[in-house]
Each structure stands twice: as structure tokens, then as C-alpha cells.
Chains A and B, each alone.
Chain A
Amino acid sequence: MTLAGWALIALFVAILGLTAKPVGLWLFALYEGRRTPLHALLGPVERGFYRLAGVDPAKEQSWRRYALHMLLFQLATALLTYFLLRAQGMLPLNQRGLPGVGADGAMNVAISFVTNTNWQWYTGESTLSNLSQMLALAIHNFLSAATGIAIAFALFRGFARRESATVGNFWADMTRVTLYLLVPICVVYALYLVAAGVPQTFAASIDAHTLEGARQTLALGPVASQEAIKMLGTNGGGFFNANSAHPFENPTAMTNLVQMLSIFLIGVGLTYTFGKAVGDTRQGWAILAAMAILFLAGAAVAYAMEVHPTPLMHQLGLAGGNMEGKEVRFGIIGSALFSVVTTAASCGAVNAMHDSFTALGGLIPMFNMELGEVVVGGVGAGIYGFLLFAILAVFVAGLMVGRTPEYVGKKIEAREVKLAVLAIAVLPLMILGGSAIATVTQAGLAGPLNKGPHGFSEILYAFSSATANNGSAFAGLTAGTPFYNALLGIAMWIGRFFIIVPVLAIAGSLAAKKHTPAGAGSFPTTGGLWVGLLVGIILIIGGLTFLPGLALGPIADHLTAAAGQLF
């Protein structure tokens, strides 16, 4: 490990520490529906959209209506994507004449992008036309991100409001976040990426004759516009198969740093927005502190594992870090840090092949996902997932001191705890259940590329990634089969909406409650004790649930590798 490596981590953390408040305040303005400087430009678009859609943005919704309208919107956008992919062969901007996508594959992609997962069983550059990339996929990168933030806003209102029957208006939240946050940042960001070398053209490819006289067909497309929202919205679905490892998606070490920062930008800002919404910004900083501890621990382990040669490379006389599946321009630290950022958040973009990480280096991304991606997490999804753990933590603290638990001015009672547990139980159910099915069926066992414990890791990683809506992969797994398309599609859907609906139910239940001022007997939810309790609850729930699975996969992989065994 080098000083420059640690300096990069420090630089990364410092920049996000500085952006947390301004981004959080901007989000707070959208949360409150206040005017921003951008309204002068985009206000007419917003009002026009409402008028055509028959939406009254001031009309408040109960949590049930909020949830149902959200689900209807997901269904409508998913169907649009499904039919666009099926009909690809008949649609324009398809210079290479690519055929329509099969039924199981199109269904999987539609679910994958609606749920902010962006799991990709296909190779983008040889499966999808430019029209499909822009119109069928990239729209979800905005809309699923905006939906996640809208859900977080609804939950914030649950904590902040007193004796209220409503939690906001889904259409207004989703539209405002898209127009006043995601689109403006992406326009600037995408143009920066073009300047740095990311293509943006409607041409599909260009033929080159290499120095040695071979023919090389370079796939092109509207990459930059998709790349910007892919990172900012923690979507992660690459234009190309190699994702952010591809030089056309991530050409320099500087774009790599910017991509990592943009994964965390909104998620970090939302912790501040939460504190602001509940009237005590220390509540937000406490959450961010707990996230930072878990993040830095993961980053340190992944860096330490990748920076040394693997037992195999060492035996063959190679020095230096594990460069299999990594790009020279990013190096070990730029790859290891990216892998932790992308799985701590629910991004799933990769700039190195996680499948070729060392056993324990690859354990960290997998474990991050299994914790529910609450370490900063996906835009919106990270903070509402984290607040589920906060509800559990005050419940546990309440049991210890024998009082009704309270959190930011609301009593946490049986209904909220039950709903939180219901949402958290989705992770082990789908990750372990799905992996179990895959390991006892022929169709499932046909998937892994690698043999031995690493083959099991590929399966476990796939279900962790799908359920947690991450989308990264141990990409040796051949996932483009009806078996995996169907099972992982179900895991993605349940992993998203069987968490969102309980979260909205909690929001509704909390919003209806009276404000309970903190008293002398209240458990403080700001200091070091609270941060420690949060970290402990997250690690115990996540750690203990998944430890047996990890022991069969990456840990067995590590021990056999250390013993010099090859598979």
C-alpha cells in the first residue's frame, strides 16, 4: 500500500465531506417544493408536464396512494422498455441491424432498469441499438433514481410531520428531482465526459486499420449522456460490456475519480437533507459518520487484499498487485476503491472485473451488497434502507433501557418495527433462497465459469447483486439463460418493491403520530454511542445472516488459494 493510494482515499472522502451540505440543501429545497434558481428555465417544462398529465402538484397523497401511483409509473415505464426491446429490429437508429431481444431477456432488462439495478446479462455493444440504449434504458437511469429519492422524501416527511394523513405527492417529488437535480447536473457532467474522451454520436461504429494491418471495428454511440446519469443515479448499467473499465466510458484516472464521486454525491447529500427535514442536522451527520466508518473499513480491506500478488501470481514469480481484470490507468487503488464505492452504493458500475479479485478482495463488494447497500447506498434507497436499521437500533436500545423507543421525535412502536423487519428480511430470503435454488438445479449449475468455491461465489454474488439492486457481477457467470433471467428478474423486483412499500407504510404510520419531544430518558441518537450502535446492528444483522454463505464461497476460496490449490 502506498502513500499515494491512501491520499486518493483521503481526497475522495474530503471532497464528499465538503459537498454534503450544499447538495443536501439543494435537495431540501426540492423536498419542500421551494423555488430554485433553475425554475426560471425549467419551470415551464414542469408546469407543462403537470398540465398534460392532469397532475395537481399541491394535492397531497396518503401513503397508499403514493405507493400505488409509484407502482403504476414503474409498470408503465417497464412495459415501454419491454416493447421497445422486443421491437428493436423494426425501429430506427439501428445501423448494425440488430434483432429484437427475446422475451425472457427483455423482461429481465426491463425489471433490471426499472429497479435501479442495471444487471446486464447481455453485451451492450453487440445486442442493443443506439435507440434502445437511449430510449429504452437511459430513461430509467433518471426515473428510477428520482423514484428512490421521492421515496426517501416521503419517509422524511413521516418523521417530520405531526398528525398528518399524507406523505407528499409522488408525481411532484419525482418530476422535481428529475428536472431540477438530475438533468442539470447530467448536462454539465456529460459534456465534461465528452471533453475527456467519451463518445457522443449517433453513429454506431467506425472501422479502423491497425498499425499491424488488422481491421478493428470500434463501437460508438451516445455514450456520454448515458454515462453521466449511470453514475449520478447509482444505476451502473454500462453502454458497453466492460462498463466503466471500457476506455470509451471511463477514459482517464480523473474521470474515474469524478465517476466515484458522482456515485456518492446525492446519497451523501441526502443524509444532510434528512437532518434538516427533522430539524436537527446532527441526526444527519451521525448517520453519515456510521456510513463513513463502514465505508473506510471496506475500502481498507479491499485495498490491502488487491495490492499484493495472489498466491498463484507469487508462485509464478510475479511482483506487484493483482492486475488480472484491472486497467493500468486506474491501478490497484483506483480499482479497489471503485469496487467498494459502487457496491456500498447500489451503483453496480465496475471499472475492474470483481470476478478476478482476490477471494477476500471480492468478499468486500459482496458483503457491502448483503448489508443492504446502506453505506451511503443508492440514491434515496441508501438513506431509507439505513433508516430501517436506525429503527431496529432504537428498538434494541429501547429493550435494553426498558422504554418505548423514540427516534427524531417519533415513538417507534410495534407496527414500525414489524414493517422494518419485513423489509430487511427480503435480503436473506432472496439472496440465500435464490442461491440455494441455483446450486441444486442443473440450469443453475450451468452458470458459473470458475470451478470450486469461486463458482459458488459467482452464484451468491449474482443473487446478492440482483436483490440489493446493485447490478455488478462476478461476470464469469453465464446469466443470459431463461433460468437466470427469470429468477434474477424476480429477485430484483422483490428486492426493490418489497422494501419500498413497507418503507412507505412506515412513512404513513409515522406521519400520523404526535411529536414526542426528547426527554431525560430518551436514548440520544447523535453521539458516538449511537453511531457505534448503528454500525453494530448493521454488522450483526448483515454479518451473521450471510456469514455461512460467505464461508462456503470467498472464505473457502481464500483458504484453498493460500494452500496453493487450483481449480
Chain B
Amino acid sequence: MLNDIKSGLRPALVLTLLFAALLGLAYPALIAGVGQLVFPWQANGSIVRDARGQAIGSAIIGQQFAGPGYFHGRPSAAGKGYDPLASSGSNFGASAKPLADRVKGDISANRPSPDVLAPPADLVTASASGLDPDISPEAALYQVARVAQARHVSTAQLDALVDQHIDTPLLGVIGERRVNVLALNRALDAAFPRP
């Protein structure tokens, strides 16, 4: 028994250090080297920039939209909303009272008048990451009337804009129909500058 332990000490210590160097330093450095060379945009966070080169955000990370003239993303439980330093879902159980209160509030905030149907579910439920960049096409269309009014454009023009920004599932099976909110709002700013 003692012999078994003694014979294992050197391999345990030496291989710990060797594997730490290989797997903890060399491997990530190799991926970073090749990644930065071949896919520099993605490797640095898929950052989108404005005309002056200023970073607006990441193409694949949601950001907070609250004004009536923009399409809104989903409720976010990441920090105070869409905080990438605190990604998180709400973690409320399916019959939690605080969840009921939050959803009720979001329904009335989104609903133009009580006789209109309730919004699509994704528009009033918090995503898993709190950083969901997408909403369903239905959730985008639901907001068209509000955005059109704020921007003084016709709803038909905005319906068409939303339609252009729908991503469809790969092979019809992999993924869901969705709209990237930041991409849609950037196109909105480009096509219909804010008054």
C-alpha cells in the first residue's frame, strides 16, 4: 500500500504540471492564435460599429431598448437588464407569485389597449441568459403599431422591414423563426431616421 502511494507521487506531480501547461496554456493559446487570424471578427465578440467606428454592441448579444421608437427585446434578468457582466435568467418557478406579477406588468405595458390580444409569450417572458438577441417574428409584428406611430411611418413599411429580418430554421428543423432585435433596429434607424 505504502509502496503503491510512493510510486505514484512523481507521476502525479509532474503530469499535473505538464498537463496544466499543455491544456491550460498551450491549447487556449493555439485556438486564440488561429481564431484571431482566421475569424478575427467572431473571436473578438462579433462587435458591430457605427459610422465613426464606435462599438454599438455585439451582433449576437441583446441590448436594452425602452423607447417607443425602437423594437424591444425580451424582459431581461441579467443585472438591471441586458448586463453581460451578470448573465442570468429569472429562475422563477412556473407558479411563482413574483413571476405572475412581472408578466402581468409586462403584458399591460406592451398591450396598446385591453381589447387587443395578449402579446406573444416570448415578449413577456425573461430569457435564460438575460441577453437573448432575438424575438419571434410575431413579437416584432406586435410592436409595429407603436414604432410606426413614434417614427411617423406607415405600418406597412415596418411590416415589410420586419419581414426582411426574419431568420428561418436551417433545413426547416434546426432552430426557430426569429428576428435579431439589434439588427432590426439598426435597419430601422437607417431607413427611417428618428424625428
Contact = CB atoms under 8 A, between A and B. Distances in A.
Interface of A: 4, 7-8, 11, 45, 49, 52-55, 64-65, 68-69, 72-73, 75-77, 80, 123, 125-126, 134-136, 138-139, 142-143, 171, 175, 178, 183, 186-187, 190-191, 194-203, 205-212, 214, 216-220, 222, 224-226, 240-242, 245-248, 251-254, 256-257, 309-313, 316-331, 334-335, 350-353, 355-359, 449-452, 454, 457, 474-476, 557, 560-561, 565-567
A89 to B, nearest CB: 18
Interface in B46-78: 46-47, 54-67, 70, 74, 78
B74 A241 contact: no
The 7 closest A-B pairs by CB, nearest first: A253-B175, A245-B128, A476-B91, A454-B93, A353-B89, A135-B24, A242-B87
Contacts of B30: 187
Nearest to B66: A212
B46 A325 contact: no
Interface string B126-150: 1111111111100000000000000
B155 interface: no
A247 B172 CA distance: 21
Contact of B16 (A73, A136, A203, A474): A73
A26 B182 CA distance: 45
A49 B10 CA distance: 12
B89 A209 contact: no
Q: Which of B28, B56, B172 gathers most chain A CB within 10 Å? A: B28
B11 A126 contact: no
13 contacts: A65-B7, A72-B9, A73-B12, A135-B25, A139-B20, A197-B60, A210-B63, A219-B84, A248-B60, A312-B94, A317-B117, A323-B121, A449-B92
Contact of B11 (A73, A328, A352): A73
Q: Which of A198, A222, A323, A566 gathers most chain B CB within 10 Å? A: A323
B23 to A, nearest CB: 5
B109 interface: no
Interface string B1-42: 100110111111111101110111101101110111011001
A72 B12 contact: yes
Contact of A68 (B5, B84, B119, B176): B5
A198 B74 CA distance: 22
B99 interface: yes
Contact of B44 (A72, A201, A560): A201
Contacts of A330: 175-176
B86 A557 contact: no
B161 to A, nearest CB: 15
A142 B44 contact: no
B57 A247 contact: no
A236 B122 CA distance: 26
A68 B19 contact: no
Contacts of B66: 212
Given A208-B57, A209-B56, A328 B96 contact: no
Contacts of B16: 73, 76-77, 80
A566 to B, nearest CB: 4
Nearest to B59: A197
